[in-house]
């Protein structure tokens, strides 16, 4: 009899419990991870359509397919959806949820119910934001700067309330991860034996818990100010509009590291596995994540160099921002050093890691240029900044995300995707990305401001190239989608460890059983023991 009970328990998590209801009420971190995956895919698709609308409008000066009011809304929804509903939750909530407990040798996160609640809070927030579309729409840009956001259409309240709600979800997930890392490590899993992905998720979680409340309060104040005119940001009531920018970036600069740190975790895993080599400078990589997390709280003013903030403050912020460059550079060097005397295989996930190295490097170096206070005076709020943050958020985070999906896909679904179309998707995304965004560095240097519905005729050629590039990226993502769907339906069966990884998730079945481990493992060595 005991046998039978055991058998159901050993069923893989995808079949443990059937029907939609068993998914919607699941407490299994792996299923919750996949629910995030599906939701984020949908949001990414919507955000992507908006991106194509923006680029198509900008294919020529003047009005091409829409008017200025529509354009401003399209640009706002593109930015808000991509930031709050794709890039921020992407890696932590999906890959992190799926992997964190397994990588620690645990059966689940510390608070499974809270985990499910976070998902629903996130979806509620997303829903509230999106309903603003059906009212007046929002046209402030994703940064909601006052006093414009106090005067424009009322949809702002819904959008901001949605972002506030999603922030709550982010805090809850962060809390859950911190406690999980501290309390649920398997016997022998010391902090210094944790995979670097876990270190990255842990640093991210700290940022989520400490920074997000500030955004929450700021957004609430914005709503209060709009509804009741309390006079915090509105200068006609004695408020200070620039204060909003300080509050906003006090969250949103750490948030850019909420976006990139998990990606750096993914890259560490990919490079170790596909070089079949122990990671170089484990301690340096782990601690540089923490250093970035701490420093990122003190650099927000680099978004305000020309806002009227005091000049001395600007110089100080420029200085501290330079310091953030150091741990970032350390990581890059360590990854390259890991490949030295390795056994490097350019499977699709590794191609994305290599693409990440190239694009994130450009993003980081242009970040240093922007941190150079004199240069930022000219470059601020031009297309140079647009190019910079796409190089880090798309070239960095999204590339890592794609690599991570291809890498862990066999583990999640027990099936392999076809290599060739996966590589082809990389090719189009990588090429298209550079064609789209590299010209924007030049546009910005030439002085083309961002958030422009229309532009001077001399900017036409570069804008046109950029638009063509965006169609190439879209092609790449469609190929990727096809590859994944094909893998789900008709993929070959995956073995437990198709890539030769050394972290714990590769020691268990693909797909994992409901409880992850039949027996909690006892850890006796570090995570990358290729000897």
Partner 1 sequence: MRSFLPPQASTFAGQWDLLYDSLLLVSFLGGAILIVAMLYFIVKYRRRTDTDKTAYISHNYYLEFLWTFIPLLVFLGVFAWGAYVYYLQRKVPENAIEIGVTGWQWRWDFQYKSGKKTTNELVVPINTPVKLVMTSGDVIHSLFIPSFRTKQDAVPGMYTMLWFEANQLGTFQIFCTEFCGLQHSNMLAKLKVLPQNEFNEWLSLSDSGQGKAGDSPAQRGSALYQSKACSACHSLDGKTVIGPSFKEIFGKTELLSDGSSALVDENYIRESILNPNAKVVKGFTPGQMPPFQGQLTDDEITDLIEFIKTVK
Residues that bind Cu ion (CB under 5 A): 253
Q: Say which entry of partner 1, Cu ion, ligand HEM, none residue 260 contacts (CB below 5 to 8 A, set by partner kind).
A: ligand HEM
Rounded CA-CA distance 9/493 in Å is 21
Q: Which stretch binds ligand HEM (CB under 6 A): 273-281, 320-328, 348-356, 464-472?
A: 320-328
Contact between 245 and ligand HEM by CB under 6 A: the answer reads no
Binding residues among 86-145 for ligand HEM as defined by CB under 6 A: 143
Q: Which of 6, 283, 495, 518 binds partner 1 (CB under 8 A)?
A: 283
Per CB under 8 A, which region of 35-43, 260-268, 443-451, 510-518 contacts partner 1? 443-451
Determine, following the binding rule CB under 6 A, whether residue 324 of this chain makes contact with ligand HEM: yes
Retrieve residue 140's tokens: 């402030």
- The answer to whether residue 302 forms part of the interface with ligand HEM (CB under 6 A) is yes
498 lies in the site for partner 1, by CB under 8 A: no
Classify each residue of 395-431 as buried b or exposed e, where b means 16 or more C-beta atoms within 10 Å of its C-beta. bbbbbbbbbbbbbbbbbbbbbbbbeebbbbbbebbbb
DSSP string, 206-257: HHHHHHHHHHHHHHHHHHHHHHH---SS-GGGT--HHHHHHHHHHHHHHHHH
Least distance to Cu ion from the beta carbon of 332, Å?
19
Tokens standing for 303?
């978004």
Task: Please say whether the beta carbons of 369 and 379 come within 8 A.
Answer: yes
Residues 469 and 434 sit within 8 Å (Cβ to Cβ): yes
Site for ligand HEM in 160-199 (CB under 6 A): none
User: Rounded to the nearest whole angstrom, what is the least distance from the CB of residue 486 to partner 1 in the complex?
Assistant: 25
Distance separating alpha carbons of residues 494 and 509, to the nearest angstrom: 9
Footprint of partner 1 on residues 368-387 (CB under 8 A)?
A: 368-369, 371-375, 377-378, 380-382
Which residues between 412 and 471 bind ligand HEM (CB under 6 A)?
Answer: none
Rounded Cα distance, 388 and 393, in Å? 9
Give residues 349-378 in contact with ligand HEM (rule: CB under 6 A): 364, 367-368, 370-371, 376
The residue whose two tokens read 């792996």 is 30
Confirm or reject binding of residue 246 to ligand HEM (CB under 6 A).
no
Contact 178, 92 (CB under 8 A): no
For residue 385, state whether it binds ligand HEM (rule: CB under 6 A): yes
Whole-angstrom distance, CA of residue 360 vs CA of residue 370: 15
Q: By Cβ distance, which residue is nearest to ligand HEM?
A: 367
Q: Is 353 or 422 the residue whose CB approaches ligand HEM more closely?
A: 353
CA distance 505 to 501: 8
Closer Cβ to partner 1, 208 or 338, answer by number:
338
Residue placing its CB nearer to ligand HEM in the complex, 389 or 408: 389
Q: Does 393 bind ligand HEM (CB under 6 A)?
A: yes
| Tokens standing for residue 27 | 């407490």
């Amino acid at each position: 009899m005991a046998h039978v009970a055991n058998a159901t328990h050993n069923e893989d998590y995808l079949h443990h419990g059937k029907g939609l209801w068993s998914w919607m009420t699941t407490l299994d971190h792996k299923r919750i991870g996949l629910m995030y995956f599906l939701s984020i895919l949908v949001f990414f698709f919507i955000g992507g359509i908006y991106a194509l609308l923006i680029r198509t409008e900008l294919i020529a000066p003047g009005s091409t397919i829409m008017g200025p009011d529509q354009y401003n809304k399209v640009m706002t929804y593109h930015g808000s959806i991509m930031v709050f509903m794709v890039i921020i939750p992407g890696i932590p909530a999906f890959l992190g949820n799926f992997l964190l407990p397994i990588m620690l040798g645990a059966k689940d996160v510390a608070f499974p119910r809270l985990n499910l609640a976070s998902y629903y809070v996130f979806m509620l927030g997303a829903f509230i934001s999106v309903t603003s579309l059906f009212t007046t729409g929002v046209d402030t840009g994703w940064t909601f700067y006052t006093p414009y956001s106090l005067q424009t259409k009322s949809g702002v309240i819904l959008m901001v309330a949605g972002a506030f709600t999603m922030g709550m979800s982010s805090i809850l997930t962060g809390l859950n991860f911190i406690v999980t890392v501290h309390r649920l490590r398997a016997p022998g899993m010391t902090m210094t034996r944790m995979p670097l992905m876990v270190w990255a998720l842990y640093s991210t979680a700290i940022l989520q818990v400490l920074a997000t409340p500030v955004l929450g309060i700021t957004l609430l104040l914005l709503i209060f100010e709009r509804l009741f005119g309390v006079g915090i940001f509105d200068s006609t009531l004695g408020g200070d509009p620039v204060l909003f920018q300080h509050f906003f970036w006090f969250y949103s600069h750490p948030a850019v590291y909420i976006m990139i740190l998990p990606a750096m975790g993914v890259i560490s895993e990919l490079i170790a596995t596909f070089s079949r080599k122990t990671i170089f400078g484990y301690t340096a990589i782990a601690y540089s994540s923490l250093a970035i997390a701490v420093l990122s709280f003190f650099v927000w003013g680099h978004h305000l160099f020309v806002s009227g903030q005091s000049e001395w403050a600007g110089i100080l912020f420029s200085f501290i921002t330079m310091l953030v460059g150091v741990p970032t550079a350390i990581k890059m060097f360590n990854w390259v050093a890991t490949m030295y005397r390795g056994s490097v295989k350019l499977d699709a996930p590794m191609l994305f890691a290599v693409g990440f190295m190239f694009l994130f490097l450009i993003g980081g170096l242009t970040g240093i240029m922007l941190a150079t206070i004199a240069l930022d005076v000219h470059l601020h709020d031009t297309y140079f900044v647009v190019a910079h943050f796409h190089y880090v958020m798309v070239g960095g985070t999204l590339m890592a995300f794609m690599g991570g999906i291809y890498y862990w896909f066999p583990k999640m679904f027990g099936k392999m995707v076809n290599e060739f179309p996966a590589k082809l998707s990389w090719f189009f995304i990588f090429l298209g990305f550079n064609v789209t965004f590299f010209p924007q560095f030049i546009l910005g240097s030439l002085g083309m401001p961002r958030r422009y519905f229309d532009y001077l005729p001399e900017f036409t050629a570069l804008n046109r190239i950029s638009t063509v590039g965006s169609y190439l990226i879209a092609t790449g993502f469609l190929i990727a989608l096809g590859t994944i769907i094909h893998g789900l339906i008709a993929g070959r069966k995956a073995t437990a460890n198709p890539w030769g990884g050394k972290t714990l998730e590769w020691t268990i079945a693909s797909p994992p059983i409901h409880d992850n481990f039949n027996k909690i493992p006892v850890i006796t060595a570090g995570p990358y023991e290729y000897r």
